[in-house]
């Protein structure tokens, strides 16, 4: 059983995190969902808690039972950190090393491989700032899957849809099989 952190951000595609969580649990993985405040506007923590069979992390101060910061322990124990869906805002935070919420703090603290599955308006995805942020993260070893083309929630047709859940699960399986833990060398 591998420990997967699943970051869910404030995209209309957040509802697909339920299917992703369910499929990963059925595959025998332990999934801990980490939600941004905006993600909770699209799907409830209770749904993801029920499917993951683990408490959902929604804030930096959720841990009340230990002196040890819960987000650091989660970061240390993770075999893989997945952000699906990932908004342009979250990608920008990750690229700039910002840790203003529990999801970005975990991303900054973990040495586990990171997989990002973007979902946003196509113009946002193609904007030079987003392209630069993706390039910066890719240079640091973060992997991306998607987005794909299709009808977007905003009514436009084009690039920006969350990659199909089955494809995300397949990529997760590949990354876990690699067993690598690239991260910054700590001296």
Q: Tens place of pLDDT for every residue, the chain, 187 residues?
A: 999 999 999 999 999 999 999 999 999 999 999 999 999 999 999 999 999 999 999 988 765 555 456 678 899 999 999 999 999 999 999 999 999 999 999 999 999 999 999 999 999 999 999 999 999 999 999 999 999 988 778 777 878 899 999 999 999 999 999 975 544 444 4
Residue 186 lies in a domain: no
Domain count, the chain: 1
State the pTM of this model.
Answer: 0.92
Beta-strand runs (E) in 43-133: 80-86, 114-118
42 within domain boundaries? yes
3-class state of residue 95 by DSSP: helix
136: domain CATH number is: 3.40.50.1950
Does 118 map to a domain? yes
Q: In what order do the strands lie in the sheet with 80-86?
A: 30-35, 3-8, 80-86, 114-118, 143-144
**Token pair of 78 as six digits:** 């993770």
Q: Is residue 150 part of a domain?
A: yes
Q: Is residue 13, in this structure, part of any structural domain at all?
A: yes
| Structural domain contains residue 80 | yes
Q: Provide the token pair at 29.
A: 């993985």
61 vs 57: CA distance, rounded Å: 9
Tell me whether residue 88 is in a domain: yes
For residue 104, being part of any structural domain is answered with yes
Find the domain containing 98 and state its range.
3-178
Residues with active-site annotation: 154
Q: Are strands 3-8 and 30-35 parallel, antiparallel or unpaired?
A: parallel
């Amino acid at each position: 059983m591998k420990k997967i952190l699943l970051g869910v951000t404030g995209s209309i595609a957040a509802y697909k995190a339920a299917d992703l969580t369910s499929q990963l649990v059925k595959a025998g993985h332990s999934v801990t969902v980490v939600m941004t405040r905006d993600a909770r506007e699209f799907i409830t923590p209770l749904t993801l808690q029920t499917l993951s069979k683990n408490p959902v992390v929604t804030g930096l101060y959720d841990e009340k039972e230990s002196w040890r910061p819960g987000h650091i322990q989660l970061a240390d124990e993770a075999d893989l950190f997945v952000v699906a869906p990932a908004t342009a805002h979250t990608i920008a935070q990750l690229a700039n090393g910002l840790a203003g919420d529990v999801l970005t703090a975990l991303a900054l603290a973990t040495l586990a491989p990171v997989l990002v599955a973007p979902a946003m308006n196509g113009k946002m995805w193609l904007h030079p700032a987003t392209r630069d942020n993706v390039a910066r993260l890719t240079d640091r070893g973060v992997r991306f899957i998607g987005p794909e083309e299709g009808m977007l929630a905003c009514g436009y047709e084009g690039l920006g849809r969350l990659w199909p859940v089955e494809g995300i699960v397949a990529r997760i399986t590949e990354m876990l099989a690699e067993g690598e833990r690239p991260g910054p060398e700590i001296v």
